[in-house]
Amino acid sequence: MRSRNDAVDWPAAVQRALDIGVCGVGSADDERAERRLARFAAVQVGSFVWTHDGDGNTYVGRLTGPCRHDPEGEPVDLVHVRDCEWSRAPVDPVLIPEAVTQTFARGGHNFQRIHPGDVEAETAALWQRLNA
């Protein structure tokens, strides 16, 4: 949930998303961004997502709705959003699947699928544990 624009306050974007229950991406102002937006919109409802906040805390969420435009997200370039149920608190770092940790360690600003291993099953089990 980081804007491709480095001038944007990305921690504010993540906090906004956590506060209002959305997952999102920024403006699609070129062909690559349009493809990224299309991939984001095509992800199935019920899919899991991960993010970091400005303090380095990690949250897991589950998409609960389709992609929509949110003009109120313009100040933090989080204008293409999907409803998302986020974990109520940051995930304990020892519980985060290794594939998630590896993906975040690579950096980047992209919405991307996490590999390797069976991170989806690991995330689903963690989600059940967090919501028990």
Q: What's the pLDDT at 28?
A: 84
Q: What's the pLDDT at 44?
A: 96
Whether 110 shows a pLDDT value over 70: the answer reads no
Q: What's the pLDDT at 82?
A: 97
Q: What's the pLDDT at 49?
A: 95
List, in order of start, the domains of the chain with CATH numbers. Answer: 10-130 (3.10.590)
Place of tokens 């493809």: 35
At 7-28, the pLDDT tens digits run 889 999 999 999 999 999 999 8
3-state secondary structure the chain: CCCCCCCCCHHHHHHHHHHHCEEEECCCCCHHHHHHHHHHHHCCCCCEEEEECCCCCEEEEEEEEEEEECHHHHHHCCCEEEEEEECCCCCCHHHCCHHHHHHHHCCCCCCCCCCCCCHHHHHHHHHHHHCC
Whether 83 shows a pLDDT value over 90: the answer reads yes
Place of tokens 């995930």: 91
Q: What's the pLDDT at 12?
A: 95
Indicate the range of 52-61, 84-93, 104-113 predicted with least confidence.
104-113
Indicate the range of 23-27, 33-37, 109-113, 124-128 predicted with least confidence.
109-113
Q: What letter represents residue 95's amino acid?
A: L
